[in-house]
Structure 1
Amino acid sequence: MKLSTNTALILIDVQNHFDNPELGNRNNLNAEENMATLLHVWRETNRPIVHIQHISNPALPHHPGRDIKEIVAPLPGEPVMIKNVNSSFIGTNLENHLREANIETLVIVVLTTDHCVSTTTRMGKNLGFTPYIVSDATATFERVSFDGKLYSAEEIHTLALVSLSDEFATVIDTLGVLELLEG
């Protein structure tokens, strides 16, 4: 199946905050470059793009960690929706925006895999959209579990994608997305 010219690229939480070394080790260190590649193709082919920015508390003063990374910064006219929870569909106009544009298929890139990509993808599928998650254009961090065991970023990333694959989304890499583009 090809991805139509009306397939939306959804860039979620690609923000400076995720460069903070206190977050620990991260996988997919080239994720932002892959996001930028997809964004360039979407712009060149006039496909729909939506940027999602996480701001937990809009009342707090501006902090540079909130800013969208320069490598995928929105251009004038590209929608930027502000969210304050994990799902990009809660508290935003994302669903209405997509429906008004007759968009059914979503290509999702995000920081981080096990949080906002998981929540947004599950909800998107439940709302009737067809999500694709770009495995090498998403990333996460290592974490210590409830039982004190340290899980690597790659383990968490892989398991998050495994839990979404097939039931909630098609998991694909950047090259695979480019090969599926129609037109």
Structure 2
Amino acid sequence: MDLHDDAALIIIDVQQGFDDPVWGERNTPDAEANIGRLVAAWSDASRPIVLVRHDSVSPGSPLAAGSPGNALKPVVADAPHELFVTKHVNSAFYGEPDLGAWLEARGIRQLVICGIQTNMCVETTARMAGNLGYDVTVPLDATHTFDLDGPGGIRLTADELARATAVNLAGGGFAAVLTTDEVIGAA
């Protein structure tokens, strides 16, 4: 991996509300620690960091704006950052302020995307970034998700969903899927 000096670290929805038991079983117990390692590497290299927060509009959501669960987790709450985006949907490209415009104004073309949930907001943001022509990397072990029920009684575990995300992103040509160690090694 060739990491540009201005490669942006995009940290998606690392919020207290994801600790609520309502979400169920999660994977990647070291995700937050790996996110912290990425923040340290980006800070040490003076690369740009973007924090993204999901302000849910769903009634009763643990991520509702103004609720305790809306707050960022300690691992990123005090992270130095150049942009703070809030959103109501899966993609950080549909938030405020405009992530795409901010990246374009700075000429940033390489993104490393991590956070919560792997198969939801992280994958959606990475897919959009890939479609928009960015060079995208997702350190999969710096993400986590939860078991999920689908149609017809199908239930996938968090690990199965993470593997599907890895296949979707890498196999679909949206993003490189690496480990935190591999990304930090390039930093």
What CA RMSD, in Å, does the superposition of the two structures yield over aligned residues?
Answer: 1.6
What is the letter of the counterpart of residue 49 of structure 1?
A: I
- Name the counterpart of 1:80: 84
**Per-residue Cα deviation, 1:31-61 (whole angstroms, up to 9, x for no partner):** 0000000001111110000000010239x76
Q: Report sequence identity in percent.
A: 39
Q: How far off its partner does 1:170 sit? A: 0.1
Aligned positions, number: 180
TM-score (norm 1): 0.93
Structure 1: where are the runs of 5+ without partners?
Answer: none
What is the letter of the counterpart of residue 41 of structure 2?
A: V
**Per-residue Cα deviation, 1:83-122 (whole angstroms, up to 9, x for no partner):** 1110100133100111111110000002001110111111
**Per-residue Cα deviation, 1:159-180 (whole angstroms, up to 9, x for no partner):** 1111111410000000000112
- Name the counterpart of 2:123: 118
- Does residue 173 (structure 1) correspond to residue 172 (structure 2)? The answer is no
Greater per-residue helix proportion: 2
SS at structure 2 position matched to 1:52: strand
What is the letter of the counterpart of residue 177 of structure 1?
A: V
- Name the counterpart of 1:145: 150
Q: How far off its partner does 1:77 sit? A: 5.6
Structure 2: where are the runs of 5+ without partners?
Answer: 59-63
- Name the counterpart of 2:103: 98
Q: How far off its partner does 1:76 sit? A: 6.0
How far apart are the structure 2 equivalents of 1:110 and 1:76?
Answer: 16
Off by >2 Å, runs of 4+ in structure 1: 74-78
- Name the counterpart of 2:61: none
SS at structure 2 position matched to 1:37: helix
